[in-house]
Amino acid sequence: MAEPFLGGLFSDALSWRWIFYVKVPVGVVAIVAIAARLHLPKPVGRGRVDVLGGVLVTVATTAVLLVATLGPDRGWTTTPVLALIAVAVVSLVGYVLTERRAAEPITPLPMFRNGVFVISAVQFFLSTLVLFVAMLYVPLFLQTVRHASAFTAGLYVIPLLVGLVAATAVAEPLIAKTGHYKRYPVIGALLAGPSMACARLLGRLPRHRPDRGRDAGARAGRAGEAAGGTDARNRRRHGRSARVLIVSGRL
Look at 14 and 214; give whichever has higher pLDDT.
14
Tell me the pLDDT of the chain averaged across its residues: 75
* pTM for the whole structure: 0.56
Look at 6 and 50; give whichever has higher pLDDT.
50
For 218-235, what is the mean pLDDT?
A: 50
pLDDT at position 141: 77
pLDDT at 65 over 60: yes
Could you tell me the pLDDT band of residue 182, with boundaries at 50, 70 and 90? confident
pLDDT at position 206: 57
Could you tell me the pLDDT band of residue 129, with boundaries at 50, 70 and 90? confident
pLDDT at position 109: 86
pLDDT at 153 over 50: yes
pLDDT at 204 over 80: no
Contacts of 105 (CB under 8 A, 6+ apart): 50, 53, 98, 99
What does the pLDDT look like over 136-146, one tens digit per residue? 777 777 777 77
**Furthest-apart CA pair in the chain: how many Å?**
123
Could you tell me the pLDDT band of residue 202, with boundaries at 50, 70 and 90? low
Tell me what percent of the residues of the chain surpass a pLDDT of 70.
Answer: 75
Mean pLDDT lowest among 19-23, 27-31, 120-124? 19-23
Q: Which is nearest to 147 in space by CA: 210, 76, 55? A: 210
Could you tell me the pLDDT band of residue 248, with boundaries at 50, 70 and 90? very low
53 contacts 106 by C-beta, under 8 angstroms: yes
